[in-house]
Structure 1
Amino acid sequence: MLAVATVQIKGNGIEAVLEAASFRQLLRAALAVFDDPDMVLSACRETSHQVNFEVAILRLDTSSGALASATAGSGRVEVISCAGEDRRLSAGDIVWIAVGDVPPPRSADIPIEGLGQVVDDEIARAGGGCAAALLFRSQGHPARTATYVVPNDLQAIPRLLGQVAAFFSQHAMAAEDVEGIDVVIDEILTNTIGYAFSDGKAHEVYVNLTAEAGELVIEVRDDGVPFDPLGVPPPDLSDDIDLRQIGGLGVHFIRTVMDEVDYRRATGWNVLTLHKHLTQGMGSEESES
């Protein structure tokens, strides 16, 4: 996914500069949390209701060419070619993201100087404003690696699991290969968020997925208190279920679903790495051949 935004904040002096810097960070945070640009814009309005801003936001799936956008004030997102009714870009399409009085270019022809020159010319012609241009060359293959940032809030887990499921689907992983992995990730994140952070402050957990040839690698990092889950003794499955150690059951399930599980403590971070062999391969690799 690629997110592009142009923003114009009206004001003067140091106060406007501080508002712009704050809004920039707010926008980046909202784009990391919400998939829908309209929800990003709503979050910015709610948090910065006293800031006089105009904005144009674009979110593009670089694999499929699907785009979504939201605008406020004079913001505009326009496609300088035929995007089609399904809102998917085709090779050669140019997307114009602007605020202020900057009009889109009069022609889809790109000068030898590149799109940057087109943007500069239109801003100069308008006498100010803010604009960006994006050339969509072609649909690409889904990225082999994806990193997701999860706040230490249990309510953030379902969204992350949805993103993981989308990653599996993009790489056409067989259902039998990834069965139970969502429960594994849920178990790890639930325990991490519940027990790793004792200072009461906001933290982030990083979940990295890598689709390699015949293997899925999942890495979970957190900066919480040191804890090696592999040191938890295996549960005695002969005991009554009410007497079994909950933590041990979770680790046992993780070991059962995954083929390899490793832990290390590195520069203040807990790093849990999980490997899963993909017996069915990946459909995207087959289509490439």
Structure 2
Amino acid sequence: MKTKKLIVKSRTENLSKIRDFVSSNASEAGFSKDEIDEMILAVDEACTNVIKHAYKFSPDGDIILEIKFDDNAFTITIEDKGISFNPDIIPEPDLQKYYREHRVGGLGMYLMKTLMDEVKYKSEPGKYNQVSLTKKLKSA
């Protein structure tokens, strides 16, 4: 099992560092470009949610990313110490209504669940929030 870690401040300009971190490690794990793009989009959504909602755009919060992978699966865990939320209260989006209303944003959880094989959220309010995104290797 390989483990890699990255800690960045909660600033949108750090999203490119996060994308590079995920991309290089997913590539090392043997994923295709399409699979890597899906993972990057899911992680991007998760980190953007941390910046917007957990830290309310405060640029000084820490976003801690840990990647663990072996021959079977690749898991990205994103942790923050911001405001907690309950992902179970996020309804499944009505995509047709969403499209008709030309809405922007708000599809983060849906995208993460669609693009990844497994999404787990763990929170201890006042202490930390953690989302784990797992993609299984097709060859496994």
Q: Do the structures match in fold with TM over 0.5?
A: yes
**Do the aligned partners of residues 158 and 199 (structure 1) sit closer, same or farther apart at CA in structure 2, a change above 3 Å counting?**
closer
Give the whole-Å Cα distance in 1 for the aligned partners of 2:72 and 2:110: 24
Deviation at 1:256, TM superposition (A): 0.6
Rounded Cα–Cα distance in structure 1 between residues aligned with 2:36 and 2:59: 33
Question: Residue 213 and residue 233 in structure 1: after superposition, are their counterparts in 2 closer, same or farther (change >3 A)?
Answer: same
User: Structure 1 stretches (4+) deviating beyond 6 angstroms?
Assistant: none
Q: Distance in 2 between matches of 1:222 and 1:167?
A: 21
| Greater C-alpha Rg | 1
**Partner in structure 2 of residue 146 of structure 1:** 4
Matched with 1:204 is: 62
> When the two structures are superposed, what TM-score results if normalisation uses the length of structure 1?
0.44
Of 235, 243, 247, the match for 2:93? 235
Residue pair 1:235, 1:244 contacting (<8 A) in 2 also: no
**CA–CA separation in structure 2 for the residues paired with 1:254 and 1:235:** 13
2:28 matched to 1:170? yes
The percentage of counterpart residues that share the same residue type is: 24
Q: SS of 2:68's equivalent? A: strand
Task: Work out which structure has the larger RCO, using CA pairs closer than 8 Å and 6 or more positions apart in sequence.
Answer: 2
| Residue aligning to 1:14 | none
Structure 1 gaps of 5+ residues are 1-142, 282-289
Q: 2:138 is paired with a residue of what secondary structure? A: coil
Letter in 1 for 2:65: V
Indicate the RMSD between aligned Cα atoms, in angstroms: 2.3
Match of 1:273 in 2: 132
CA distance in 1, matches of 2:98, 2:132: 31
SS at match of 1:205: strand
Residue of structure 2 equivalent to 1:136: none
Match of 1:29 in 2: none
Q: Which has the higher helix share?
A: 2
Distance change >3 Å, CA 153–CA 225, structure 1 → 2: same
- Aligned-partner Cα distance in 2 for 1:165–1:239: 33
The 1:264–1:240 alpha-carbon spacing in structure 2 relative to 1, beyond 3 Å, is: closer
CA spacing shift, 1:189–1:279, aligned 2, 3 Å: same
- Aligned mates of 1:271, 1:239 — CA distance in 2: 30
How many residues get paired?
138
